[in-house]
Structure 1
Amino acid sequence: MQIYEQELTVTKDQLDLLNHVNNIEYVRWVQDIAAAHWTLKSTQEIRLKYFWVMMSHHIQYKGEALLGDTLLLKTFILHSKGAKSTRAVEIFNKTTGKLLTTSETVWCFMSSDTNKPARIPEDVANLFS
């Protein structure tokens, strides 16, 4: 299993009325790290032929993040079959090591030519194994 990581620092515009990170930011970060991992591992040629769409998303909140916290985001593929791939994202407070959020998202692999689901080719699947 290949793990891709990113760090970020919580900013004021990411806070809610309770002064901790708004739930929508976690969803944004899950989407953003998935896109960054795809862009890093795939070629321009592959990205012109295929893209991903989110089918379902489950997130569990285990702790809060506050202004100025440095977060460590980790993502990896749990499994892929046919046109679907399930990606996990874990978000940690980097200073304390505490796990703040876990998520599993099912993504559908799409053909740019047809705008329909496409079976994930072996060479693409191998990019993340």
Structure 2
Amino acid sequence: MAVFEQHITVLPAHCDGLGHVNNVQYLHWAEDVAWAHSAELGLGLVRYQQLDCAMVAREHVLTYLAACFAADVLSVQTWLSHNDGLRLRRQYRFVRVSDGKEVFRGHTDWVCVQLSTGRPKRMPAEFQAAYAVQETVS
């Protein structure tokens, strides 16, 4: 699976005092789609705990391209673009369905850690297989 996609509808609660989606909401949606994609790959929170291993965020890069408003429907997409066995890069792209406008893009760099120690750890084979980079998305 190269690109994982979900559709969301912007709710009034997602908007700030200026009437558009609050910037922090995009990070919440990025986290939500990342967890959903990981679960689809068989690596949800329970499996992380069983393996005593997890991917934790090291850095987020977020670029806001256009405003979104209540009732907008967004295609929220994520894919993996790098995996060296310790670090993983997950890309994000959000597109407004009504006009095909890309409204947000970004990426998160993740590091594999052992949960019991909090220290960096090479990914177990199950992580490396599930989080293998399938293809480059432009």
TM-score normalised by the chain length of structure 1? 0.91
- Identical-pair percentage: 26
Return the offset for 1:104: 1.0
- Within the alignment, does 1:66 sit opposite 2:72 as a pair? no
Q: Give the corresponding residue for 1:35.
A: 35
* Unaligned residue ranges in structure 2 (runs of 5+): none
Local SS of the residue matching 1:78? strand
Number of equivalenced pairs: 129
The RMSD of aligned alpha carbons is 1.7
Aligned counterparts of 2:102 and 2:8: Cα–Cα separation in 1 = 15
Aligned counterparts of 1:12 and 1:123: Cα–Cα separation in 2 = 40
- Aligned residue among 99, 122, 138 for 1:119: 122
CA displacement, residues 79-110 of structure 1 (integer Å, 9 cap, x when unaligned) = 01131101000000011111000001101112
Quickly say closer, same or farther: Cα 1:29–1:43, change in 2 above 3 A. closer
Q: Give the corresponding residue for 1:47.
A: 48
* Unaligned residue ranges in structure 1 (runs of 5+): none
Q: Give the corresponding residue for 1:22.
A: 22
Q: Give the AA of the match of 2:12.
A: K
Runs of 4+, deviation exceeding 4 Å: none
Checking the alignment, whether the CA contact within 8 Å between 1:42 and 1:124 is kept in structure 2 is no
